[in-house]
């Protein structure tokens, strides 16, 4: 867990046929990071301009160090590439189109296909968007041409990126020459046959942009009335500049992306145009105005849909704010996860994986903001439960009674009976005791109690009001505040999910427990009705500081590794109203609620569970 490495490694798409947009965007991010003083480098950089050579790093050197963050703008990454790059540091993918569930984190700067695993962050305004935009970005055409086109003709720019692997520039320009427009073309720096294409286009009356203008094209877009391109960064740059855009798709994949994003197809309009008999110039212009209006309306709607009517945002600044917290092995069983634990779901700044041991664990772009201060037990608690923790104190204390009865029963089990008979006052440590309702109930029930909690306010209350012994800190505690201590019972009610390293905590519990001692805990369950109904929704609603989710069906095998054997596991937190189909009836009618509640208990469908385990040994670790 954690990330003590340094520096940023950028990996752009380098394979032929993947276009130049990914490389251009990676170079822009590289420059911005280095300008902000970051230790940023680009792997095997394909330099598009001389002044971009700074920051290039070879593969051998890149693979010899650990990086704070590896950023891949690679378009379609193989599983082998993901596995190799994850060994270098936390792996962030930008607009990944293939191995989405392998990356630690994802940012989508262009709209992904529906049904794909969503990204942690989706924000088109993080792209390197143009500074030069039309006034009000209204998509309305200037009647005399954006830059005063010849004879008032609309000015149309054809551009298919830095590479144009499908060679779409010439046919698109040829189609436009049949329309009453001025046509310009930008030939990307990675294209093949640029010299020949330039000659053909020039002879056909198409103005070809100089290479310097083609490279920094985004700042030229506002000078045109219409952009013809493919699905990609240029299309969205045009929308941000307030210029309508229609697309020609080089592949079925691009066509699907463009249709979902909302771009009109230039092919459809050109096909209709060629199927129309020869028209008089005035009729041609009127027809083109109708086509233009339709494209402009679609472009305006697409820009609004994807938030391109707002301000630009700084991807480099966002990146520098990340402090990734990741696991490279399961925090419970220790199994390495480089290629075996695909991502289950993603939400803003956090991702979830599931280990083969059954544990679901969280990784984050930044540590959760939550701290266990007074507000956690008052304002936050009230927001969730309708009352503060102290207002709920008597209810929590009352609920401790059945738990204490189960603990006593576990201590009296046959194999522990000889030792249990000698225990006059069992010693109990309550981890995460908060303001002490369980401690108070346990003391009344005849236990010799001690509490531990990270909240200073809670610890003060336990000491001064309840007059019970308590330690301030996290578990396992720093230093040796529990050195030499041993306990008959250790409890952790809704605590283990908050621990970044639960494996270390379980080892510490084993050390502190006497032979035959009892570990009792409660924690949310991913096997309950809410998670079964929608695991994605269950994880999305999971608190930001819940690092692990334990499945009660697999806890037995996990705990054996730490020297424990469960003696009782059962579900709690039953919610009949959350059942599919009959949930509404259960919420409205008591008979349905009783029936659904009975089914929930019978099949262990509660949204949390309690577990009582016996220490049988020192554990395998």
2-41 confidence digits (pLDDT tens): 556 899 999 998 776 666 778 888 989 999 999 999 999 9
pLDDT in tens, 531-548: 999 999 999 999 999 999
The pLDDT of 316-344, averaged and rounded, is 91
Q: In sequence order, what are the beta bridge partners of 71?
A: 10, 92
Q: By the 8 A CB rule, do 447 and 423 touch?
A: no
Q: What is the C-alpha to C-alpha distance for residues 388 and 367, in angstroms, rounded to an integer?
A: 25
- pLDDT tier, 48 (very low <50, low <70, confident <90, very high otherwise): very low
Cα–Cα distances in angstroms (integers) from residue 204 to residues 159, 173, 199, in the given order = 16, 9, 9
Q: By the 8 A CB rule, do 432 and 453 touch?
A: yes
Q: Which DSSP state fits 464?
A: I
Q: Is the pLDDT of residue 52 over 60?
A: no
The pLDDT of 364-387, averaged and rounded, is 86
* CB neighbours of residue 404 within 10 Å: 20
Q: What is the C-alpha to C-alpha distance for residues 470 and 496, in angstroms, rounded to an integer?
A: 19
Q: What is the C-alpha to C-alpha distance for residues 514 and 509, in angstroms, rounded to an integer?
A: 10
| Sign, Cα dihedral of 234, 239, 240, 242 | positive
Fold matches, 8-128 and 135-305: yes
Q: By the 8 A CB rule, do 462 and 439 touch?
A: yes
pLDDT in tens, 391-431: 999 999 999 999 999 999 999 874 444 554 556 799 999 99
Lowest mean pLDDT among 282-296, 489-503, 558-572: 282-296
* CB neighbours of residue 64 within 10 Å: 9
Element holding 560 (H helix, E strand): helix 555-560
Give residue 619's pLDDT: 65
Mean pLDDT, the chain, integer: 88
Determine how β-strand 226-229 pairs with β-strand 448-453: unpaired
Residue ranges covered by each domain of the chain: 8-128, 135-305, 409-615
Give residue 382's pLDDT: 87
Q: Is the pLDDT of residue 588 over 80?
A: no
Q: What is the C-alpha to C-alpha distance for residues 609 and 550, in angstroms, rounded to an integer?
A: 9
Q: What is the C-alpha to C-alpha distance for residues 523 and 533, in angstroms, rounded to an integer?
A: 19
Q: What is the C-alpha to C-alpha distance for residues 237 and 520, in angstroms, rounded to an integer?
A: 57
Q: Which residues of 1-16 are buried (b: 16+ CB within 10 A; e: fewer)?
A: eebebebbbbbbbeee
The pLDDT of 248-257, averaged and rounded, is 91
The pLDDT of 106-115, averaged and rounded, is 92
Determine how β-strand 343-347 pairs with β-strand 513-524: unpaired
Higher pLDDT, 521 or 586: 521
Give residue 582's pLDDT: 67
Q: Is the pLDDT of residue 453 over 50?
A: yes
Q: What is the C-alpha to C-alpha distance for residues 538 and 343, in angstroms, rounded to an integer?
A: 15
- pLDDT tier, 361 (very low <50, low <70, confident <90, very high otherwise): very high
> In the numeric block, which tokens belong to residue 222?
């506002």
Give residue 146's pLDDT: 46
pLDDT in tens, 120-151: 999 999 999 999 999 877 787 765 444 445 56
Q: Using a pLDDT cut of 70, give the percent of the chain over it.
A: 89
- What does CATH list as the number for 135-305? 3.40.50.2000
Which residue from 595, 599, 496 is spatially nearest to 552, judged by alpha carbons? 496
- pLDDT tier, 581 (very low <50, low <70, confident <90, very high otherwise): low
> In the numeric block, which tokens belong to residue 230?
């493919």
* Whether domain 409-615 has CATH 3.40.50.150: yes
Which residue from 431, 556, 567, 409 is spatially nearest to 490, judged by alpha carbons? 431
Element holding 267 (H helix, E strand): helix 266-274
Q: What is the C-alpha to C-alpha distance for residues 345 and 389, in angstroms, rounded to an integer?
A: 31
Higher pLDDT, 145 or 456: 456
- Fold for domain 8-128? Rossmann fold (3.40.50)
Q: Which residues of 479-499 are buried (b: 16+ CB within 10 A; e: fewer)?
A: eeebeeeebbbbbbbebbbbb
Q: Which DSSP state fits 549?
A: E
Q: In sequence order, what are the beta bridge partners of 158?
A: 185, 228
Q: What is the C-alpha to C-alpha distance for residues 270 and 593, in angstroms, rounded to an integer?
A: 62
Element holding 523 (H helix, E strand): strand 513-524
Give residue 375's pLDDT: 85
Which residue from 606, 436, 403, 602 is spatially nearest to 524, judged by alpha carbons? 606
Q: What is the C-alpha to C-alpha distance for residues 493 and 513, in angstroms, rounded to an integer?
A: 17
Q: By the 8 A CB rule, do 551 and 527 touch?
A: yes
pLDDT in tens, 153-202: 899 999 998 888 889 999 999 888 888 899 999 998 777 788 899 999 99
* Torsion angle of C-alpha atoms 298, 299, 301, 302, degrees rounded to 10: 110
């Amino acid at each position: 867990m954690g990330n003590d490495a340094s520096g940023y490694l950028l990996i752009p798409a380098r394979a032929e046929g993947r276009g130049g947009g990914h490389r251009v965007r990676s170079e822009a991010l590289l420059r911005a990071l280095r300008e902000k003083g970051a230790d940023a480098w680009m792997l095997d950089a394909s330099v598009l301009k001389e002044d971009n050579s700074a920051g290039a790093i070879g593969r051998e050197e890149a693979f010899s160090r650990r990086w704070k963050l590896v950023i891949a703008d690679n378009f379609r990454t193989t599983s082998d590439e993901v596995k190799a790059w994850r060994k270098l540091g936390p792996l962030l993918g930008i607009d990944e189109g293939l191995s989405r569930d392998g990356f630690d984190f994802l940012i989508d700067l262009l709209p992904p296909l529906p049904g794909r695993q969503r990204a942690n962050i989706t924000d088109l305004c993080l792209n390197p968007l143009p500074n030069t935009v039309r006034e009000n970005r209204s998509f309305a055409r200037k009647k005399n041409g954006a830059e005063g086109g010849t004879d008032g003709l609309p000015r149309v720019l054809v551009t298919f990126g830095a590479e144009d692997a499908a060679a779409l520039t010439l046919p698109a320009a040829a189609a436009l020459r049949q329309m009453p427009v001025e046509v310009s073309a930008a030939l990307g720096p990675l294209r093949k046959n640029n010299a020949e294409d330039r000659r053909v286009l020039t002879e056909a009356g198409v103005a070809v942009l100089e290479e310097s203008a083609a490279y920094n094209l985004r700042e030229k877009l506002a000078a045109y009335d219409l952009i013809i391109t493919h699905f990609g960064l240029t299309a969205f740059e045009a929308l941000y500049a307030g210029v309508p855009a229609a697309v020609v798709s080089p592949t079925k994949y691009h066509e699907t992306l463009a249709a979902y994003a909302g771009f009109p197809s230039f092919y459809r309009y050109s096909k209709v145009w060629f199927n129309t008999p020869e028209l008089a110039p005035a009729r041609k212009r009127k027809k083109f105005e109708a086509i233009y209006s339709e494209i402009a309306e679609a472009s305006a709607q697409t820009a609004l849909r994807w938030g391109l009517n707002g301000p630009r945002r700084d991807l480099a600044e966002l990146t520098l704010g990340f402090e990734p917290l990741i696991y490279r092995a399961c925090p419970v069983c220790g199994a390495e996860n480089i290629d075996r634990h695909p991502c289950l779901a993603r939400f803003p700044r956090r991702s979830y994986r599931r280990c083969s041991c059954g544990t679901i664990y969280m990784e984050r772009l930044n540590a959760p903001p939550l701290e266990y201060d007074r507000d956690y037990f008052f304002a936050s608690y009230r927001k969730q439960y309708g009352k503060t923790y102290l207002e709920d104190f008597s209810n929590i204390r009352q609920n401790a009674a059945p738990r204490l009865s189960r603990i006593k029963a576990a201590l009296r089990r046959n194999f522990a009976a000889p030792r249990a008979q000698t225990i006059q006052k069992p010693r109990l440590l309550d981890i995460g005791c908060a303001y002490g309702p369980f401690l108070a109930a346990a003391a009344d029930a005849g236990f010799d109690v001690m509490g531990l909690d990270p909240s200073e306010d809670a610890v003060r209350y336990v000491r001064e009001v309840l007059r019970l012994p308590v330690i301030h800190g996290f578990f396992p505690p720093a230093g040796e505040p529990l050195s030499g201590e041993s306990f008959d019972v250790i409890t952790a009610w809704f605590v283990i999910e908050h621990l970044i390293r639960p494996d270390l905590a379980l080892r510490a519990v084993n050390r502190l427990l006497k032979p035959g001692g009892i570990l009792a805990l409660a924690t949310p369950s991913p096997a309950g009705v809410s998670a079964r109904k929608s695991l994605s929704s269950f994880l999305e609603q999971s608190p930001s500081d819940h690092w692990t989710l334990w499945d009660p069906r697999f806890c037995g095998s996990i705990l054996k590794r730490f020297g424990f054997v469960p003696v009782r596991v059962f579900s709690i937190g039953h919610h009949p109203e959350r059942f599919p189909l009959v949930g509404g009836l259960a919420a409205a009618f008591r008979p349905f609620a009783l029936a659904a509640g009975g089914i929930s208990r019978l099949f262990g469908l509660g949204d949390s569970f309690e577990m009582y385990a016996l220490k049988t040994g020192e554990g395998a670790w």
